[in-house]
C-alpha cells in the first residue's frame, strides 16, 4: 500500500529547544492515522513541516510522493488541511471567507457556491453562513476550519486538533465526517491529545512525547502486543482467587488476571466444577489510553 505522508528523521529546533527530534513514520493510503500526544509534544510542528510551512533542520519528508519543498505546490491542492485554528477575516461571513480561500486556490467563481454550501452543511454551519466570523464562538470557528479542509475532493485530509472547543455533539459529528471520508477511501491524518476520541476512529496511531516518536503502528497490532486480561465476577471470590493463582488482582467481587485466551475455557469449567457462581467472564483488551501510558509513561509533557 502506498504511503501518502512520510517523515524520515525530521528534526526541528527553535533556538535551543528541540521541538521535533528525529521523527520517522509513514501514513498508508486509505488509513485513519492518529498522531497522538499531549500539547507541546511536537505534533503541530511536524505537520507544519509536512505541509511546507516551515523547513526542517534535518531529515526529509514526502507529501503524496513529492519530496522536494520547491514542488509541494503541485500536490497541495490534493490536501485538505486544518492547523491550529486558522485565521479568518473577522468582519466577513463564513461564506465570504471560504470564497476568498477558493479564489486563492484558483477555483472558478461559478463552482464556488456549491462547494461552500456542501462544506458548511457538513459541519452544521448552514444556518449562520452570513454571520460575521468575528462573532463566532470557539466551537463555531473550529467547525469553519474543518469546513475549509472539506472544500472539494481531496486525497488527504490533515486535521490538527479538529475537536478542540467542540461540545460532545460536535465531536460526534466530526467522527461521523471522518468515518464518511474513510469509507470513500480517503486518507485522514488527525493530530489530537484526546485518546478516547482517537480510539473510536483511528486505524493507525503514532505516539509523540517531548518531540520524539515513541511508538507507531496499526491499532489492532499495538493491542495484540499486550496480553489479554480476563475479568471474572462471581462468588465465592476466595475460590476464584485460589484457581487463578497469586497473580490475580481482586477488586471487590471482580478478579482480574493476565491469561492466554486458550486457557479460558478450562478455567471456566474448573470454576463451575468448584461450585463458583460465575456472573461475568469477560476478556478485556487494553484501551488506547492504557497503551499510551504503558509506552510513554505518566506526567506532563513539559520541557
Q: pLDDT per residue over 219-257, tens digit each?
A: 988 888 877 788 888 888 888 888 888 778 888 778 888
Q: Does residue 299 have a pLDDT over 60?
A: no
The C-alpha atoms of residue 276 and residue 210 are separated, in whole angstroms, by: 49
Give pLDDT tens digits for 76-103. 989 999 887 678 899 999 999 999 999 9
Top pLDDT among 259 and 303 is at 259
Ordered by start, the domain boundaries in the chain are: 3-219, 229-284
Q: Does residue 153 have a pLDDT over 90?
A: no
For the chain, state the CA radius of gyration.
Answer: 24
Give pLDDT tens digits for 194-207. 888 899 999 999 99
The pLDDT assigned to 83 comes to: 86
The average pLDDT across 126-155 equals: 89
The pLDDT assigned to 302 comes to: 46
The pLDDT assigned to 212 comes to: 94
HEC-encoded secondary structure of the chain = CCEEEEEEEEEEEECCEEEEEEEEEEEECCCEEEEECCCCCCHHHHHHHHCCCCCCCEEEEEECCECCHHHHHHCHHHEEEECCCCCCCCCCEHHHHHHHHHHHCCCCHHHHHHHHHHHHHHCCCHHHCCCEHHHCCHHHHHHHHHHHHHCCCCCEEEEECCCCCCCHHHHHHHHHHHHHHHHCCCEEEEEECCHHHHHHHCCEEEEEECCEEEEEEEHHHHHHCCCCEEEEEEECHHHHHHHHCCCCEEECCEEEEECCHHHHHHHHHHHHHCCCEEEEEEEECCCHHHHHHHHHCCCCCCC
- Read off the pTM: 0.82
Residue 303: pLDDT band with limits 50, 70, 90:
very low
The pLDDT assigned to 1 comes to: 65
pLDDT > 70: percent of the chain: 97
Q: Which of 15-29, 58-72, 137-151 has the highest mean pLDDT?
A: 15-29
Top pLDDT among 47 and 300 is at 47
Q: Does residue 259 have a pLDDT over 90?
A: no
Nearest to 202 by CA among 184, 228, 182, 227: 182
The C-alpha atoms of residue 165 and residue 143 are separated, in whole angstroms, by: 9
The average pLDDT across 268-283 equals: 88
Q: For the domain made up of 3-219, give the CATH fold.
A: Rossmann fold (3.40.50)
Give pLDDT tens digits for 96-139. 999 999 998 888 999 999 999 999 998 889 899 999 999 988 88
* Mean pLDDT for all residues in the chain: 88
Q: Does residue 43 have a pLDDT over 90?
A: yes
Amino acid at each position: 500500500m502506498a504511503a501518502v505522508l512520510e517523515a524520515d528523521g525530521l528534526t526541528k529546533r527553535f533556538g535551543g529547544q528541540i521541538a521535533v527530534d528525529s521523527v520517522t513514520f509513514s501514513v498508508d493510503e486509505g488509513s485513519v492515522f492518529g498522531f497522538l500526544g499531549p500539547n507541546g509534544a511536537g505534533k503541530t510542528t511536524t505537520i507544519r513541516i509536512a505541509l511546507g510551512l516551515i523547513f526542517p533542520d534535518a531529515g526529509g519528508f514526502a507529501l503524496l510522493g513529492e519530496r522536494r519543498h520547491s514542488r509541494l505546490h503541485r500536490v497541495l491542492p490534493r490536501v485538505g488541511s486544518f492547523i491550529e485554528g486558522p485565521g479568518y477575516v473577522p468582519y466577513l461571513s463564513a461564506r465570504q471567507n471560504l470564497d476568498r480561500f477558493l479564489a486563492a486556490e484558483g477555483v472558478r467563481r461559478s463552482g464556488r457556491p456549491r462547494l461552500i454550501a456542501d462544506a458548511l452543511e457538513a459541519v452544521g454551519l448552514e444556518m449562520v453562513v452570513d454571520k460575521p466570523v468575528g462573532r463566532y464562538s470557539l466551537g463555531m470557528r473550529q467547525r469553519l476550519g474543518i469546513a475549509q479542509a472539506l472544500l472539494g475532493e481531496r486525497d488527504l485530509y490533515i486535521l490538527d486538533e479538529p475537536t478542540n472547543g467542540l461540545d460532545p455533539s460536535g465531536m460526534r459529528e466530526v467522527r461521523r465526517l471522518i468515518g464518511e471520508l474513510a469509507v470513500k477511501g480517503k486518507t485522514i491524518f488527525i493530530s489530537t491529545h484526546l485518546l478516547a476520541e482517537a480510539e473510536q476512529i483511528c486505524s493507525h496511531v503514532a505516539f509523540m512525547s517531548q518531540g520524539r516518536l515513541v511508538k507507531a503502528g496499526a491499532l489492532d497490532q499495538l493491542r495484540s502486543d499486550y496480553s489479554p486480561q480476563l475479568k471474572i465476577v462471581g462468588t465465592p471470590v476466595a475460590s476464584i482467587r485460589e484457581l487463578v493463582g497469586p497473580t490475580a488482582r481482586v477488586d471487590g467481587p471482580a478478579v482480574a488476571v493476565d491469561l492466554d485466551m486458550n486457557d479460558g475455557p478450562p478455567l471456566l469449567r474448573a470454576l463451575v466444577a468448584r461450585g463458583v457462581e460465575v456472573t461475568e467472564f469477560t476478556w478485556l483488551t487494553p484501551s488506547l489510553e492504557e497503551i499510551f501510558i504503558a509506552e510513554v509513561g505518566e506526567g506532563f509533557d513539559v520541557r
